Structure formats: C-alpha cells, structure tokens
Amino acid sequence: MESKRIATLTLDDGRSIELPIMSGTLGPDVIDIRALGKLGVFTYDPAFFSTSSCTSEITFIDGDAGLLYYRGYPIEQLAEKSDFLEVCYLLLNGELPTAEQKAQFNYKITHHTMVHDQLARFFNGFRRDAHPMAVMVGVVGALSAFYHDSLDINDPQHRAVSAQRLLAKVPTIAAMTHKYSVGEPFIYPKNKFGFVENLMYMMFATPAEEYVPNPILVRALERILILHADHEQNASTSTVRLAGSSGANPFACIASGIAALWGPAHGGANEAALKMLEEIGDVSRVAEYVQGVKDKKYKLMGFGHRVYKNMDPRASVMRQTCHEVLSELKLENNKLFELAMVLEKTALSDPYFIERKLYPNVDFYSGIVLRALGIPSNMFTVIFAVARTIGWVSQWNEMIADSEYKIGRPRQLYRGAVRRDFVPVAKR
C-alpha cells in the first residue's frame, strides 16, 4: 500500500493542517489544499503561477525540458506524421483512430461543415473593418441560438454532437469572417475537399474562377493547426472550463475561449509579432529594438512563455515549416524571416533574455508562415482559434464528464473599505 504523502502547513499562531500530496503520471506533484478552509485561510495566486485547476489526461507540457505531448504523443511526431482531423480525434477520444474510426470521423465532420443560412445575416451587423476576432466571438456565440436539439451537456451523445458541430462549423465561420472583411461573397464548403483544403478553399476561392488548393500550402497550414490544437490549461482553455463549469451552452463557452484568445499576451501574439517584425523593418535596427525591450518600453512579441523556460517545441517546428514554405514559394530571401532569425539569435545570446529564460514561442514564426500562405495578419488569431477549438472542446468535454466537477468560484483577498453607514448627500 503506497504511504500517503502529506505536506504540513503550520501557521504563525501554531495551528497546522496536513494536506495530501498528489502525483500525476508525468510532471510535478501537487498539494491538495481543498481542506485549507478549515483553518479559515485561503491561498493567494492571482495569475495561477503555482496553482493547478484540474486533473487532465489530454496534454502534457514540460516547460524546462521543452516537451509537449498530446495524449502522450510528442508534438514533433504528430506534426510530421499525422493530420489535423486525426489529431482532433486523438485529443477528443484519447487514442489514435483505427482506419475505420478515422474514416467515420472524417465523414461526420465533412458533412457538418455548412452553417444555417440564417447565420449569415449576423455578419451584416458588423462594420466591414471590424476585427475578424470580434466577428468570430459574436457569430460563434450565436450558434448557441441555433441548436436546441442536443444541449443536455450531461448526455455524452449530446456533448459529442456539439463537439462535432463546433469542429465542423468554426472553420466555415472563420472563412466567412475573412470574406466579409474583404467584401467578397461567402464560399460554401465542398465535401470533396479535406478539412484544411476546405478552409483554404472557403477563404480564397471566388465565384469567378476555379480554385485548386496548393498541396504544399495545405500541408503547411495543416501542420500549423496541429501545433495549435491544445496546450493544457492556458488562459483561453481555463476560460472555457470556467464558463462550462456553470453548465453554460457549449457554443457560448467556445465563444468565451475565442474572446480570451484574442489578447496580444495570448493568441493575439502572432499578429503582434508580425507587426513587430514589420516595425523593425531591417536587420540593422535589431540591436536598437532589442535595447528598447531591455529598457522595458515594449515586449518582444512571440517571445517568453508562462510554462516554457526552454525552447517552445512548436517554435522549432514552426521555424522549419517557415523555411520549407518560403523555399517552396521561392520567397527564400524573405526579409521578415531573415529578420526573425537575426532577432532570435540576438535575443538568445543576450543575458537579459537568458536570465529571464525568454525563448521564441509558437507565435514568433507562425505569422511569417501564415502571411506566406496568403492569410492577412488580422486573420492570424482566427486561424489559431480554428485550431484551438478542438482543444477547448476536448477540455470542456473532459470536465463535464468528470462526475466530481463543480462550478468554479475562486476566493479573494479583500482590501476594500470596512463596514460603514450610508451618509445622505446633504452631509457629504
């Protein structure tokens, strides 16, 4: 019988409590502080630097070693050998699909990519120059107004139907968001295409001429979607879990994840990193720009990570993809890519970044690849949201399936006014 491991917390007034230590299959142990309330004290960890919010079997990150596993499979192997829908099946169900399971899953997703035609009317409420992420939050949230036939979230079959609808329809909405912003007609999905081909077709085809997706660009975008599919309890996933913990409609929960992803500290960093490279403009300005970072005038976008204190393994794959796409497209002398590599080299040899363990993250190179694929920078985070939808849905599903889940409700350290009586305005 394994001996129960405990941590003893002793307060300065001598009172103490024994707290169980829990271990996972991988990663650091955690101290179960649920009983701490008995001492009448809470913990304080506002940005969750040292707090785990759940148990999960989906994704594992080792920030010091720079490891990322989806259901135990290293991201480098999945990015090279798998495809996005297969990774979606893996994240959602826990195992790689058999050939038959894969065919069935792909058929289901492919045949649910159309959206209710009434949904197209929501776009007209937005200005054409609205940021596509603002439109995504609104229109994906609006899906919750369309599906009343399978919303018993405690029914696994209903959760599976909602998951399938979100995975299939978010790319269609993403492409419609792009078309709306450039003033072109919406392009309906075509079932003859694969998932990523369809996304590119719906974004770039026009009624005026045939569009045949370029297989090299499709493969590059497929790899980008795989790299962005899930990342354990990041800000947007934690938002989806907290929204879902109240029993909210799954489409509304995913809309809350899209809203959280938009921030430049999170999924908005890919757009911000490309803007930064364009602002630097030339390798001759790298040293001056880096000095501005060190003077804390601004952050180096696409650098740093709450968990990775080593190279983000996705950034390494993204750098390689960047190189392949640019050489395939004969954009070898791409100034931005050269600039990014000089910036990376400069930062990684500077004590300021070394001391703070700041390395490139997934967003540092993704913007260059996305732009080379012809995707406008205001759509970069939308593409991230298309990829992360499977992560959000899988994490939401895992939480709801856990019979022990309860509504999330953090406590606070109150530092406001003590009790006082109302003063009539004449006496203020």
- The residues binding ligand SDX (CB under 6 A) are 231, 234, 265-267, 269, 293, 299-307, 356, 358, 361-363
Secondary structure (3-state) at 206: strand
Nearest Cα residue to 167 out of 232, 91, 243: 91
- DSSP code at position 209: B
Nearer to ligand SDX, 243 or 358 (CB): 358
Nearer to ligand SDX, 110 or 233 (CB): 233
* CB 98 to ligand SDX: min, Å: 29
Nearer to ligand SDX, 172 or 395 (CB): 395
**Which amino acid, one-letter code, is at 360?**
P
Tokens 């992803």 correspond to what residue? 261
In the complex, residue closest to ligand SDX by CB = 304
* CB 121 to ligand SDX: min, Å: 32
Nearer to ligand SDX, 33 or 307 (CB): 307
83 catalytically annotated? no
Nearest Cα residue to 274 out of 132, 369, 388, 177: 369
**Which amino acid, one-letter code, is at 177?**
T
* CB 369 to ligand SDX: min, Å: 16
Beta strand pairing status for 30-31 and 16-22? antiparallel
* CB 341 to ligand SDX: min, Å: 17
Name the helix (H) or strand (E) containing 8: strand 6-10
Q: Is the dihedral of CA 191, 196, 197, 201 positive or negative?
A: positive
Give the C-alpha separation, 101 to 89, whole Å: 9
How many secondary structure helices (H) and strands (E) does the chain include?
17, 6
- Catalytic choice (295, 363, 402, 421): 363
Nearer to ligand SDX, 141 or 360 (CB): 360
- Catalytic choice (131, 228, 231, 305): 305
* CB 352 to ligand SDX: min, Å: 8
* CB 360 to ligand SDX: min, Å: 9
Give the C-alpha separation, 62 to 309, whole Å: 9
**Which amino acid, one-letter code, is at 226?**
I
131 catalytically annotated? no
* CB 265 to ligand SDX: min, Å: 4
Give the C-alpha separation, 377 to 384, whole Å: 12
Burial (Cβ within 10 Å: 0-12, 13-18, ≥19) of residue 341: middle
Give the C-alpha separation, 408 to 265, whole Å: 23
- DSSP code at position 97: P
Nearer to ligand SDX, 110 or 321 (CB): 321
Nearer to ligand SDX, 266 or 323 (CB): 266
Rounded to a whole number of angstroms, the distance between the first and last alpha carbons of the chain is 68
Active site amino acids: 305, 363
